[in-house]
Chain A
Amino acid sequence: MDAKGKRLPRLTDWMIRKLTDREDCAAIIGDFEEEFHDDTAEHGTWRAYLRLWGLFFISLPSFLKNMFYWSGAMFKNYLTVALRTIKRHKGFSLINIIGLTVGMAAAVLTGIYLQHELSFDRHHAKADRIYRICIRLGEKDVHRGAFTVPPMAAAMKAELPEIEETVRMSLWPRNYLIKYEDNSYLEKGLIFADGSIFDVFSIPFLAGDPKTALTEPYTVVLSQKTAKKYFGSRDPVGETLHFADIYRDFKVTGVVEDCPATSHFHFEMIGSLCSSKTSRDTGWGGHTYFTYILLKEGASPEVLEAKFPDFVKRHWGVYISADTGISYEKLIKEDRYRYGYFLEPLTAIHLGKKAEIGDTLSIKGSRTSLMIFSTIAVFVLLIACINFMNLSTARFSHRSKEVGVRKVLGSNRKQLMFQFMGESLLISFLALGFSLVLTAILLPSFGRLAQRQLHPAVFLNPLAWTLFFVLAAVVGITAGSYPALFLSSFNPLRTIRGGRSGRTHRHDYLRRGLVLFQFAVTFAILFGTMVVASQLGFLRQKDLGFDKEHILVIHRANNLKNQKNAFKQELLRFPEISTIADTDTLPGRHYDDNGHRMEGRPASEERQIFTMYGDNRLKDLLGLSVVEGRFFSPDIASDKTSAVVINQTTAKDWGLEEPVGKRFRKEYGDAKPGEFVTIIGVVKDFHFQSLHQPILPMIIRPLSMQEWRYTSVKLQSGNLPATLEKIRAVWDKLSGGQPFTYSFLDEDFNSLYKQEQRTGSLFSIFALTAVSIACLGLFGLISFSTERRIKEIGIRKVLGAGVVRIVYLLSKEVVLLVAVGAAVASPLAYYFMHRWLQNFAFRISLHPLLFVVSGAVTLGIAFLTISYRAVKAGRTNPAEALKYE
């Protein structure tokens, strides 16, 4: 053993140095090393190591205790100072806390919404293996959908080994009248599905057997809520419900848990699909069902998709070439015969864009608006952070003396940074607390606005709390970083002497930049709000080419059966009613589209046309104008079977110079080959679909009994409720206990823009939030700079400056910043809103006036905020400001 002694292992050395305070550190390491040296000499190296570690570990608790004792003492001091600062500058603190609270609440709400939207359909245990089969057919984008033919599912399961299970569902929205004993309800949430639905999706059973629940025809499974509605506390399994519209009794075979809000299809009842004759169809013509498949574990969806073209050729190819008499190979050369399947992952359905047609029942989410609102929420939060940064740095002269004293007394820069960071963290955590309370209060109304059932359950989720914590920490650190860096860098001598620190210029630039950014964002959000509002106004006011006012739509009118004519006769006796028409659909509702072939043109030239069935009064009801030929006439017998009316777009689409008299092959109803329908007239184009879409080809066919669903009544303006009551009375007399359901055509049509109206409301709320936070910050900033320049203002007033001059002096810089901010944000705002408007086939143009108006509003709000303070400053007595000089 050499005299120099055995050195302490490096790890122990390092750990002791970190754990003990600087004063005794060397002595303690020395002590350890001396003991280690002696132990090595006495017991040998191994025992020495053992004893060293033993000694170290039993010392650890008190080392730690001492360490925390000291940092705890400093922490207490920081906390005291921070609380004192908050208390002394009530105004600034209030602005900071309110701003951050609102900003965070916006972020948390958006976060909850985002989480909700992204969690769609993930509650199914096999969600990652479930896909929906979608088809693309015909001309590219128009015909992309999720509907498939009835025999496809079984064929796929039999021929494609990747597929473990398939399930077909009928999800068309339709109301069913269901009776049990004396109670009857109109059920909206009825879907039909194959029994395999319970193998594919996770729908937990409360009663009944999932294996056999839906295998028999005329069986139905209820959700817990529905079961309670019909049967109270009794056991529903084995009971029967009467489906009045189809004259059938359905046996209840099970009760399942209520469908979660995050499911893209919603049900209250699931009926067995085999109850319907269509489910046993073998033809490949009628696309009626949604088909979901469950992949085998480990199977690749790409491999499966690659097998689809062959599959299509085997089945659809055979069908179509038999139907047209042309070989499949020849047909697929033409674009509109390109028919194929692709897979859409279950979890992508809600926010996906792949299949737009046929999604009528699912609650659609929108990726774009989700993105827009997340971005806006982040920006609102950023504005609040900027307020915080700006106000803290602006207050530096108040704090610079404190910094000087602390530095002189031995604080180093790191400690100061910790202190300021700590203060900003304290404020941000306070704000977090308030914002969570605010969120909890606002959540229900926000949920109503977003049309989602948002659960306050997030407040029980530890992950959510972690995120809240991270949010507050990030906000605190972001907002505190600049003040911390800036304030801690002061030269103590200068600050105590009262001089300016000499670095104000740089920080003024930053502050200006931040204000500019804030108002750029505010401008952009305001601009967005205006664009959405004007587009909504445009949608409301646009001439649709038909009358939608005062039209009462009576639903389920076919349930009147043989009383139908009596009903119409009685209504027509009312002087308030001028026209009654029967149709299968109405503007704004769903239209079937069917392939049409024209006489004298090749079979391959088939085009899809949207179809509406209506009687001869339809023209009067909607106020359609006939540009060529005539509309259906009750006096001509052939009009009831073999006449059709087309719109102008159809004529254009087919390139018909003289459409009247041309004939389409009749391919519907009980048509025999070689039967034709004749075009008897052309109506002026009208918007039978929402303004998202251009006017597409459309054909009106004479209504026969089986398609009829709505009876629409044109009312004279006047006492609407009284007329409605009279109509209801007639219905009750003739319908035999059927419920009277109705709506108004204009409301139905406007409800097509629900999504946009929601976007509009959310936009205005965010705009309001952003504007108020930004103004709050501006107010604080201007208060501060006024205070700092109080003497300058006093001198200027003594020398003869008026109030206007003072206001000009104080506001010119900010006004300039706001103007530049608006100018900078314009291109971006233009880009995004331009993209949003692409959703509409009919839209407003982004008029320069919109920019001017939103710019003027931003500027006006900023100016008002400033002038409140500036006018006050301009009117103070200069003697007040100067009396201490």
Chain B
Amino acid sequence: MDDLSLIEEMILWAVWKLGNNAYGVTIRRYLSKRTNRLFPYGTLYGTLAKLARKGLVVKSAGDPSPVRGGRSRNYYWLTIQGREALKTALSLKNQIWDRESQLNLEKG
């Protein structure tokens, strides 16, 4: 399996964190808050579609909501492969990102 890009990793992470409440608005707000910048919908949906093609997330339509003008939400969940991919990505990062180099980097 290909390595995940940073954006993909972030979105997978957000979907996992949000659990049963992962849909467009919440994912975007979560990421905006964590990254401290405005996260665009275009990137979000483009990446989600790619992740869905790779079989890392699934989506299903929720109930229609009045604040959305009667439109339903698309909820996203991680698949088992998605969980595995996220785990691999994080451990990969941890392998490179050991304590010592972090300290060295911060010291400059």
**Could you say which residues of chain A place their CB within 8 Å of the CB of B69?**
4-5, 7-8, 29-30, 33
Residues of B within 8 A of A20 (CB): 45
**Whole-angstrom distance between the alpha carbons of A173 and B66 in the complex?**
91
CB atoms of A5 and B41 under 8 A apart = no
A300 is an interface residue with CB less than 8 A from chain B: no
A54 to chain B: which residues have CB within 8 Å? 38
- We find that the number of chain A residues with CB closer than 8 angstroms to chain B is 30
Report chain A residues within 8 Å CB of B71: 26-27, 29-30, 33
- Do B38 and A55 touch (CB < 8 A)? yes
Q: Does B83 contact A (CB under 8 A)?
A: no
Q: Closest CB-CB distance, B58 to chain A, in whole Å?
A: 14
Q: Are B45 and A34 in contact (CB under 8 A)?
A: no
Which residues of the other chain, B, contact A35 by a CB distance below 8 angstroms?
Answer: 25, 28
A58–B31 alpha-carbon span in the complex (Å): 15
Any chain A CB within 8 A of the CB of B74?
Answer: yes
Contacts of A4 in B (CB 8 A): 66-67, 69
B80 within 8 A of A: no
- Given the interface pairs A27-B24, A28-B24, A31-B23, the reply to whether A5 lies near B42 with Cβ below 8 Å is no
A31 B41 Cβ-Cβ under 8 A: yes
B4 CB-CB contact with A under 8 Å:
no
In the assembled complex, A714 has its CB within 8 A of some CB on chain B: no
A31 to B68, CA, bound (A): 7
Known: A5-B68, A27-B71. A66 touches B24 (CB 8 A): no
Residues of B contacting A64 with CB < 8 Å? Answer: 42
A33-B67 in contact given A61-B42, A63-B42 (Cβ < 8 Å): yes
Question: When the two chains form their complex, are residues B25 and A66 in contact, meaning their CB atoms are under 8 A apart?
Answer: no
Q: Is A60's beta carbon under 8 Å from chain B?
A: yes
Q: Which residues of B contact A30 (CB under 8 A)?
A: 24, 65, 68-69, 71-73
Residue-wise, chain A 52-69 has the 8 Å CB interface mask toward B (1 for contact) of 001100111111111000
* Contact among B40, B67, B73 for A27, CB-based, below 8 A: B73
- Give the docked Cα–Cα distance between A4 and B66 (Å): 5
A34 with B42: CB separation less than 8 A: no
Q: Is the CB of A24 within 8 A of B73?
A: no
* A3 sits at the interface (CB 8 A): yes
Asked if A350 is an interface residue, CB under 8 A from chain B, the answer is no
Residues on A with C-beta less than 8 A from B40 are: 55, 58-59, 61-62
User: B42, B71, B72: which has the most chain A beta carbons within 10 Å?
Assistant: B42
Tell me, in angstroms, the Cα distance from A4 to B41 when the chains sit together: 23
Does A37 interact with chain B (Cβ within 8 Å)? Answer: yes
Across the interface, do A3 and B38 meet the contact criterion of CB distance under 8 Å?
Answer: no
Chain A proximity of B29: nearest CB distance (Å): 8
Which residues of B17-75 are within 8 A (CB) of A? 23-25, 28, 38, 40-43, 45-46, 48-49, 61, 65-69, 71-74
Contact B46 A62 (CB under 8 A): yes
Chain A residue at smallest Cβ distance from B67: A5
A213 CA to B42 CA, complexed, in Å? 71
With A26-B71, A33-B69, A34-B24 known, 11 other A-B pairs at CB within 8 A are: A3-B67, A24-B49, A27-B72, A28-B41, A30-B24, A31-B23, A31-B24, A34-B68, A55-B38, A62-B45, A64-B42
What is the interface of chain A, defined by CB distance below 8 A to chain B?
3-5, 7-8, 20, 24, 26-35, 37-38, 54-55, 58-66
On B, residues with C-beta under 8 Å from A are 23-25, 28, 38, 40-43, 45-46, 48-49, 61, 65-69, 71-74
